Amino acid sequence: MMYQVFHRCADSCARTGRVTTSHGTVDTPVFMPVGTAGSVKAVGPDDLEGIGAEIILANTYHLFLRPGHEAVRELGGLHRFMAWPKAILTDSGGFQVYSLATLRTISEDGVVFRSHLDGSEHVLDPERAMEIQEALGSDIVMAFDECPPYPAEREYVGRAVHRTTRWARRCRDKGVGGGQALFGIVQGGMFRDLRLKSAEALVELDFDGYALGGLSVGEDRETRERVIAETVPVLPDDRPVYLMGVGTPEDIVEAVRLGVDMFDCVMPTRNARNGTLFTAEGRITIKNAQYARDERPVEDGCGCFTCSRFSRAYLRHLFLAKEILAYRLNTIHNLYYYAQLMDDIRTAIRNDALEAFRDGFYEMRESKPVNS
């Protein structure tokens, strides 16, 4: 993997760049649609290419349990398995293990957990996480980490930071496959000194990129932005910075200003399946009665497949009738909205006009920045 910075914005810490992988290039800042089980829910690879996606995220934990990483390897790797020709990032499974609080035991060696599918017992450790992701053949591999809950006592978070560092070293020593890049994950909860300690230790291990983990786990937005602002400057300027599991359009605009390059979140796809659609003016709940005779597209001027052909009235009908097409059309629109948001952000950065873009972004919607 190669990362190049093209332009640094004059009025913020934002920058444009490009990640080059063996499956194509990714222009940053970028949003990665989430394909948990090797599929971005409700849409196909052709839909993703149509909205301009250059990279998607897949879930190590879920693919390990079903169909199994060895099966994926035997079938030619994840790209071939899911017919996706472009870049893939796989998480390490650490966050999913974190979410199984009542079904797992953490030790220095790794994690013993019970499958949420059938209760079977499994072991996941740094070496195993690397082996699984090598078998999947993803372009970007995440180190195995311990994600502490929020809120958590400082002593607990401190132990998680130390363990994450030791596990990161084991991941680096184990190594990844040819053509794969390895990212370290910064932990530390909401404690500034622990975050900095984690970041500094990972920088010494010299990863290909760095992620901010343990955020979007219940903390308020102001706290999250403080943590990002304090941590990013410690990370190498010549490596991509990835904010895991965040977020809303507002979260993305603010984090880009603070120097973040990569994002993922289930929000656009999950909201689509729940009937919530994103527009420049905010969110639309398509089931509302006001759209029953509305002939307009979801958003005037939107170039997505959904908006080019279908009305709000039709989308409302599909959703209320529980037609499968509703989930596909809603998802296409939401992912296109996110892709266009990132494109607009990159243009604003290149023009040294991100602050002006941000002002216009908030003028059109009800939400306001934390520091307004």
Residues 73, 61: Cα–Cα separation, whole Å: 15
Residues 346, 15: Cα–Cα separation, whole Å: 8
Angle between helix axes 324-350 and 354-363 (nearest 10 degrees) is 140
In three-state secondary structure terms, 291 is: helix
Of these residues, 47, 145, 208, 264, which one is catalytic? 264
Of these residues, 91, 139, 145, 261, which one is catalytic? 91
Residues 351, 130: Cα–Cα separation, whole Å: 40
Residues 342, 281: Cα–Cα separation, whole Å: 16
Residues 318, 287: Cα–Cα separation, whole Å: 9
CA distances from 195 to 12, 199, 214, 231, 235 (A): 22, 6, 10, 7, 11
Beta bridge partners of 87: 55
11 is catalytic: no
Got the DSSP string for 24-79?
Answer: EEEEESEEE-EETTSS-TT--HHHHHHTT--EEEE-HHHHHHTT-HHHHHHTT-HH
Name residues whose C-beta falls within 8 Å of residue 141's C-beta, 6 or more positions apart in sequence.
90, 92, 130, 133, 134, 176, 180, 181, 182, 183
CA 86 to chain centre: 16
Q: Contact 93/144 with Cβ under 8 angstroms? A: yes
Residues 82, 334: Cα–Cα separation, whole Å: 21
145 is catalytic: no
Alpha helices per DSSP H over 242-368 = 249-257, 267-273, 305-309, 312-320, 324-350, 354-363
Residues 340, 334: Cα–Cα separation, whole Å: 10
Give catalytic residues, as residue numbers: 91, 264
